[in-house]
Amino acid sequence: NAGVTQTPKFQVLKTGQSMTLQCAQDMNHNSMYWYRQDPGMGLRLIYYSASEGTTDKGEVPNGYNVSRLNKREFSLRLESAAPSQTSVYFCASSDYRHLREQYFGPGTRLTVT
Amino acid sequence: AQSVTQLGSHVSVSEGALVLLRCNYSSSVPPYLFWYVQYPNQGLQLLLKYTSAATLVKGINGFEAEFKKSETSFHLTKPSAHMSDAAEYFCAVSENQAGTALIFGKGTTLSVSS
């Protein structure tokens, strides 16, 4: 039981390049989330998917797109990376049966130069 | 709108001293409240959660938190700090709806000196 996995762990991009961050969970959770973490800012929600087939914007969605590929997988895409997107990205999942407790992946550290 | 305020971005204690990390929340409905811990270069791990069953909640590693509705607070405490407690701690709130994301505070870094 791996929990929540994220790939890659580290990535360096040049401004304007695109990439997709992958996230998968094996806990049969309904809901999945993408957060970014910046120093002194805590975690801010980018997008979330309450259930398979639905996605919604969070607090900071600009510059990102998401795809809920199936119940297990939720990807985050940067179409044209900018230095302001340098951050640590966390994927999480939860299930209402566990009272909204979220389980987090190990994170992806992204640097945009 | 919900919000979470963590008072003090840095807290320093000596080993063996009381740890107190403060969290105040605002929510229009009875909330779920959480404390997460993040060790350097790792993801977030749940310490404890309040789900309206009991106001004093015990978590892992000797931590506990008390929900005080009148003060809209959910402060985290540990009677005796250990060097291994040095980490960043996040308080978070969620409304009682399925699929609702967590709102996080900005975090408090705990330093423990010998």
Confidence of residue B51 (pLDDT cuts 50, 70, 90): confident
Residue among B36, B43, B94 minimizing CB distance to A100 = B94
* Predicted confidence (pLDDT) per residue in B68-86, tens digit: 988 999 999 999 999 999 9
B102 and A99 within 8 Å at the Cβ level: the answer is no
CA angle A74/A76/A79 to nearest 5° reads: 150
- A23 — contact with chain B (CB < 8 Å)? no
Query: Do the Cβ atoms of B43 and A107 come within 8 Å?
Result: yes
Q: Is A30 left (phi over 0), alpha (psi -120 to 50) or beta?
A: alpha
Torsion of CA B99, B105, B106, B109, to 10 degrees: -110
What backbone phi and psi angles, to 5 degrees, belong to B61? 60, 25
In whole angstroms, give the CA distance from residue B11 to residue B5.
15
Is the minimum CB–CB distance between B2 and chain A shorter than 8 Å? no
Q: Place A98 in a pLDDT band, splitting at 50, 70 and 90.
A: low
